[in-house]
Amino acid sequence: MCYRLRSTGEEKWSVVQATPILDEDGQVQFVVSISHDITDRRRAEETMARLASFPELNPNPIVEVDLAGQVHYLNAAAQQLLPGLQAAGPLHPWLADWASIADRFRQGTQSASREVPIGGLWYQQNLYYTEPSRRIRIYGLDITERRQAEEALQESEEKHRILLEESSDPIFTFYPDGQYRYVNKAFADGVGKTREEIIGKKIWDVFPKDEADKRYAAVKWVFENGITKVIEVRVPRPDGDRYYITTVKPILNDQGKVVSVICISKEITERKQAEEALAQHDRAMAALYETSLEINSQPNVPTCCMPLSGGRSSCWDADGRAVSNAAGRSDVGTCGQL
């Protein structure tokens, strides 16, 4: 019987036992009733019923198994998602490698966690040992989407790793302090070192100070501004300097913060050599032009030229008449004043 106290409004439960008192003719004269307050017991029962409903209402599988692998309980989700578990016992994929799991709990392990594949799905299992019953409760969580995402990411990372390693262009990344986070083989070969000798070291450990300072200034600027920057750099080598155009690009996290900087270099040594050769040619032509102007400004002075193939030089005066080369000297392939 449930009743409510007027003074406090508190709900109470009690069990009432009523006993009739009869007269000599068997008629009920009065009733003796004894009431027992069972409010605490009722509340405990309600609490246990509420707690007992948790596994049944849980959309994820919950299973209780003994150390031998015999299944003693499956909630509604487990019955639906794991058909045949009750009959198969430790032969079911849900209880894969159960003997080793049971041994761990026999040796004192109280909880464990693992991931198991079942029919194309992946479940994370959290296992808890209950001492009084010597049984193991397994709470499962479907992590198929997460596993697929992880596998896709690993596959993508592997493909990108292969692309980076096979690239003929130097590719490398930095931490904010100028420490190399990653370098590919092309970069290591370009500076004449192994990847192990570079990764974890700073720019100043790899390049002379002037070149290192130039590189770090660009890296630092990109970390601070989050904007791509392009620089031209020189790589000193015993067999001759090499030149590169390097694109320094920020790598951002989900919050838009720069977490790393990736650099991709393209060698331009041949172009630089061609530019230098052209510059030398221009300087030589300018010098020749200045010399010719100086010669032409001095009359009656013979001009001599010697063929590039060698041999005797030819001379002529200011009027264009051939004259002998008395001095017999001239620069090969050029014209000059005797």
| Tokens (6 digits) for 135 | 């049984």
> What pTM was computed for the model?
0.42
CA atoms of 161 and 182, how far apart (whole Å)? 11
Torsion of CA 154, 159, 160, 162, to 10 degrees: 120
If phi > 0 it is left, if psi is from -120 to 50 it is alpha, else beta; for residue 72 that is alpha
CA atoms of 245 and 222, how far apart (whole Å)? 16
pLDDT of residue 1: 57
pLDDT of residue 79: 93
pLDDT tens, the chain, 338 aa long: 555 555 666 777 676 676 777 777 778 776 666 666 767 766 666 665 554 556 777 889 999 999 999 999 999 999 999 999 999 999 999 999 999 999 999 999 999 989 999 988 999 999 999 888 889 999 999 989 888 877 876 777 677 778 788 888 899 999 999 999 999 999 999 898 999 999 999 999 999 999 999 999 999 999 999 999 999 888 888 888 888 989 999 988 878 888 889 999 988 888 777 777 777 777 777 777 676 666 666 666 566 665 555 566 666 665 666 666 544 444 434 454 44
pLDDT of residue 203: 94
Q: Give residue for tokens 């130039």.
A: 214
pLDDT of residue 116: 93
Domains of the chain and CATH, by start: 2-46 (no CATH), 58-146 (3.30.450.20), 168-267 (3.30.450.20), 273-337 (no CATH)
For the range 203-212, what are the long-range contacts, defined as Cβ-Cβ under 8 Å and sequence gap of 24 or more?
203/174, 203/178, 204/178, 206/180, 207/235, 207/236, 208/236, 211/235, 211/236, 212/178
pLDDT of residue 301: 58
pLDDT of residue 75: 92
CA atoms of 84 and 92, how far apart (whole Å)? 8
pLDDT of residue 133: 84
